[in-house]
A and B are shown apart, each in its own frame.
Chain A
Amino acid sequence: MSTEQHPYIFLAVFLAVAVVFPLIPIALAWLWAQTFSPAKPGPDKNSTYECGLVSRGEVWIRFRPEYYLYAILFLVFDVETIFLLPFAVAFLKLPVGACVAMMGFLLLLLEGLLWAWQKGVLHWK
């Protein structure tokens, strides 16, 4: 069994090393913790660490609605790229009419963006 017969064997070796190497210190740390510092949870230990300040309020906070408007706008425009990708791949073989049609599509997208801008949706209050 040599690297001549199996040119990719070193990949398997690398993978094994990559898994084992970080596992060793983690196992050592776990053994150390078991022996010398077992877990003793308490209210002080469980509190959120805030640079020494006492933490206040809930962890679950509400996002402002603008955040969702951004997210929704992003979602729509983001997914439209799946039409741009085939267009880009086939670009060199396309007739003029197809390019013009695609420009029409992009123009509609742009109109949507302009509308959102004009409505003040893009303005973070």
Chain B
Amino acid sequence: MNTVNYLGLLRLLAPETVLTITGLIVLFFDAGVMRRQSIPRRQQVAAFLLSAGAMLAIGWSRHYSLADPNSTSMLVIDPLTQLMKQVILFLTIFTALVSLESKFTPHVGEYFALLALATLGMMFLVSSVDLLMLFVSLELTSLSLYILTAFQKDKLESSEAALKYFLLGGVSAAFLLFGMSWVYGLTGETNLIRIAGQLRDRATDPVLLAAMVMMLIGLGFKIAAAPFHLWAPDVYQGAPTPSAALIASGSKVAGFFVLARMTLAGLAGAEGSGVWNGFAPGWVPVLAVLAVLSMTLGNLAAIAQTRVKRLLAYSAIAHAGYMLPALMAHNTMGTIALLYYVTTYALTMVGAFGVVAVVEQQTGSDAYDAFTGLSRRSPALAVCLLVFLLSLAGLPPFAGFFAKFYVFTAAASASTRSLGLLWLVILALAMSVVSLYYYLQLLKQAFAVDPPAGAKIIRPLPATLFTLVFLALLVLLLGALPHLLVNKLQAALVVSGL
């Protein structure tokens, strides 16, 4: 029986504790004090409380002491996890500010409290290094996100999207748990580091490979990689736009980080190989299949879309495909590239969804037609949209360019053998060109086409506009000076040893 130092644990988990208490305060403050106020007022107060709590958590997460790095612990606290938690908390703050624009629910307190709980799940997900902790925090995130998707109760699509999300998510969670049970049975461990120690000798055990594939199915669902992407378009379209923004950003960051932890730390020694003409069973070829399917399917399906939220969903699937080769490169450079990609991608996605939220609130639609002549109706919004979409497309002055650049160079230089992962990089480059077409299609609608007669000027709230401009500037800054983030990631990665 090992003794636990509860006070020390509480100090290590101070950011999480702060966020939990923030969620409860938001819930009860809204239900008690703010009950008789108007809904916009309640939204403002709740968003302010949540942002203040998240800022406090960010501040606290900077002052931590390294946890005792013995391999028996369930959670790991190191510079890298703290950095990723800060990213997730910032994404939550942006989501909360974007939420001010939409009026979709009278249950304001519950909405913001659930945002806090979903964020809490993601933070634990980033820290967890044990199968049990990983499963519990994954479910905390997922369950909160299901409810956030269903929040617009008067809209049929919202309920439908939530139920589809829930049913597919439930099946994938069951796969994950079943895979975990086999890994536990075969190794007798639930700690990822010690599982890796056990795995080295028998990496080609077929039962083990089956268990691994099952776990990858569970996590592949979380990052919306094809063929486990079926929920993504429906959820992005049906969910209230701010909820969709969190699903597309924070959940993505946490999902990719935990996938990296699972494969790089937990399944180290069972990589197999994904180089051309040299496949060997392991997790790399599995991820290669996911990457190829995601890239092609996401990009080709995105061309046919007529609604912006669905377009963003298919492009999200494609981006998941671009990110996977960085993981398969299986080296420090690949990990840095992955984390840089997913961070900048999440910031861009929150911004893009913010623009959609404003347009949708004021025109009642997210179809391409609603964006016609946006540059005339709201120049600031149109410029923000331009920045976000071009960054998603991966054009040079924006953060998306360096993200793709790092990932592709990491993947291309990963293997010393001839070709290596180059075949994947070539496919990804070709698909990036395809993606340019549909992003420009939307931008043409916003910039080149005249607004229809009688189209109203679109006026975002000051707070939303500030958030969007800030995000656009951030995307530009990270595009111009990528080493700001890369150096931080590198320093953190060296200490943590992932």
Instruction: Identify the A interface with B (CB < 8 A).
Output: 95, 97-98, 100-101, 111, 115, 118-119
Query: Do the beta carbons of A119 and B31 come within 8 Å of each other?
Result: yes
Query: Do the beta carbons of A115 and B7 come within 8 Å of each other?
Result: no
CA–CA, A98 to B6, complex, Å?
Answer: 8
CA–CA, A115 to B32, complex, Å?
Answer: 10
* Residues in A neighbouring B27, C-beta threshold 8 A: 115
* Residues in A neighbouring B32, C-beta threshold 8 A: 118
CA–CA, A97 to B7, complex, Å?
Answer: 8
Minimum distance in angstroms from B412 CB to a CB of chain A: 49
In this complex, what residue of B is CB-closest to A107? B24
In this complex, what residue of B is CB-closest to A100? B6
10 contacting pairs across A/B (C-beta < 8 A): A95-B3, A95-B4, A97-B4, A97-B5, A97-B7, A98-B4, A98-B6, A101-B6, A111-B24, A111-B28
The size of the chain B interface, using a CB distance under 8 A, is: 10
Contact of A118 among B6, B7, B31 (CB under 8 A): B31
Interface of B is mostly: helix
CA–CA, A118 to B31, complex, Å?
Answer: 8
**A-facing mask of B1-37, CB < 8 A → 1, else 0?**
0011111000000000000000010011001100000
* Residues in A neighbouring B28, C-beta threshold 8 A: 111, 115
CA–CA, A95 to B6, complex, Å?
Answer: 10
* A-B contacts besides A111-B24, A111-B28, 8 pairs, CB < 8 Å: A97-B4, A97-B5, A97-B7, A98-B4, A98-B6, A100-B6, A115-B28, A118-B31
Query: Do the beta carbons of A115 and B31 come within 8 Å of each other?
Result: yes
CA–CA, A19 to B235, complex, Å?
Answer: 58
Minimum distance in angstroms from B31 CB to a CB of chain A: 5
* Residues in B neighbouring A115, C-beta threshold 8 A: 27-28, 31
* Residues in A neighbouring B3, C-beta threshold 8 A: 95
In this complex, what residue of A is CB-closest to B27? A115
* Residues in B neighbouring A111, C-beta threshold 8 A: 24, 28
Query: Do the beta carbons of A97 and B6 come within 8 Å of each other?
Result: yes
In this complex, what residue of B is CB-closest to A119? B31
* Residues in B neighbouring A95, C-beta threshold 8 A: 3-4
Minimum distance in angstroms from B116 CB to a CB of chain A: 13
In this complex, what residue of B is CB-closest to A118? B31
* Residues in A neighbouring B31, C-beta threshold 8 A: 115, 118-119
CA–CA, A75 to B395, complex, Å?
Answer: 52
* Residues in B neighbouring A118, C-beta threshold 8 A: 31-32
Minimum distance in angstroms from A107 CB to a CB of chain B: 10
Closest 6 CB pairs of A and B: A97-B6, A118-B31, A101-B6, A111-B24, A115-B27, A97-B4
In this complex, what residue of B is CB-closest to A96? B6
* Residues in A neighbouring B6, C-beta threshold 8 A: 97-98, 100-101
CA–CA, A95 to B4, complex, Å?
Answer: 9
Minimum distance in angstroms from B330 CB to a CB of chain A: 39
Minimum distance in angstroms from A104 CB to a CB of chain B: 10
CA–CA, A45 to B6, complex, Å?
Answer: 71
In this complex, what residue of A is CB-closest to B31? A118
CA–CA, A122 to B158, complex, Å?
Answer: 26
Minimum distance in angstroms from B371 CB to a CB of chain A: 38
